[in-house]
Amino acid sequence: MSLLHSCRCKVARRPRLPQGGEKVAYEIGHPYDTGVMPTGDGHHIYWELYGHPQGKPAVVLHGGPGSGATPYWRQFFDPGRYRVVLFDQRGCGRSLPNAGDDVSALENNTTADLIRDLEALRRLHSIKQWLVFGASWGSTLGLSYAVRQPHSISELVLWAVVLTRSSDVHWITNVMGDVYPHEFDHLLLQLPAYPKDGNIPLAFNQLLRSPDPIVADAAARAWCGWEDRIATLNGPVVPSRRSEDPRLRLGFARLVTHYFGNFAFQRDDAITGSLDRIAHIPTFLLRGRLDVANPLRAAYEVAQGLSDVTLEIVENEGHGAGEETTARLVAVLDKLASE
């Protein structure tokens, strides 16, 4: 049985990639407008507009949870053809309160809350429909948003696709613990006792909420070290910028374990059981074959449930956006801007 037949999706041909130093992505420019949107329940969401004020509307959903909408995300969009809304999700970046400062940032902070923020931002900027662009946790949020608000979305472009189900959380902890046993055992040293339900992120979240800054920081260091291990496919672990910053690593670790430990605050079939609601939305999914942060089957299952979908697999890349992943994303966004 062919992949095309078994997943009922289009598997696109490999595009021509830049050669000899050609530019892969767009030069990162500056936003033309910024602001803060109060949510009415204790949060203030930072947003910015980038590109052309009359361009094709798009919204960026960053990963993490808790990574923030850094300038990095602007490189994928042609600033002459897109009007891009970027925002820091609750508890991170320039949104307040920040989980790196205050555990109150975890209150009123669920997937449903983030979806309400998306709709409020769409209305704030008088957008009827927008393209949803997201990666990693942002793909979970994007799909969750889509099945609840399908009429708000023109297209979905999602990469490093994950679903944040209980089985996916088990994968990134327990299953990967069999791949990296030394680092996994070091992670578990932070826990007073192995959780009976096996929910390691939730147990870590309790430590990360500790009023003792030494306890909280030790847990943050351990969790971010594990994330860095998963992100480094081979060789010595490459620490991320957030791992070296006390405030960033604490906020990131609090938000990730908050969402992972509660399985994105939704049923395991919240996405896969509702794909009929978004079957009409043109969808592009991209995964690295070497992405060990989540099973590739997650993206495959989503593709199986959709009709107007393209699933591409980059054979030699992992969870982050390498050159080929970046080139493919820019190519599909360019194509959609021209339609």
Residue with tokens 């959709």: 306
- The three-state DSSP-derived secondary structure of 32-47 is CEEEEEECCCCCEEEE
87 closest CA partner among 36, 135, 156, 32: 36
Could you confirm whether 291 is annotated as catalytic?
Answer: yes
Could you confirm whether 136 is annotated as catalytic?
Answer: yes
Task: Choose, from 136, 152, 240, 243, the residue flagged as catalytic.
Answer: 136
Cα–Cα distance between 73 and 94 in angstroms, integer? 15
Cα–Cα distance between 259 and 201 in angstroms, integer? 9
Greatest distance between any 2 Cα atoms in the chain: 57
Task: Choose, from 43, 62, 258, 319, the residue flagged as catalytic.
Answer: 319
Task: Choose, from 88, 117, 168, 291, the residue flagged as catalytic.
Answer: 291
Bridge-based pairing of strands 82-87 and 56-61 is: parallel
HSE (side-chain half, CA atoms, 13 Å) at 230:
24
Cα–Cα distance between 29 and 13 in angstroms, integer? 31
- Its sign, for the CA torsion 320, 295, 232, 311, is negative
87 touches 47 (CB < 8 A): yes
Cα–Cα distance between 125 and 92 in angstroms, integer? 22
Q: Which residues are catalytic?
A: 136, 291, 319
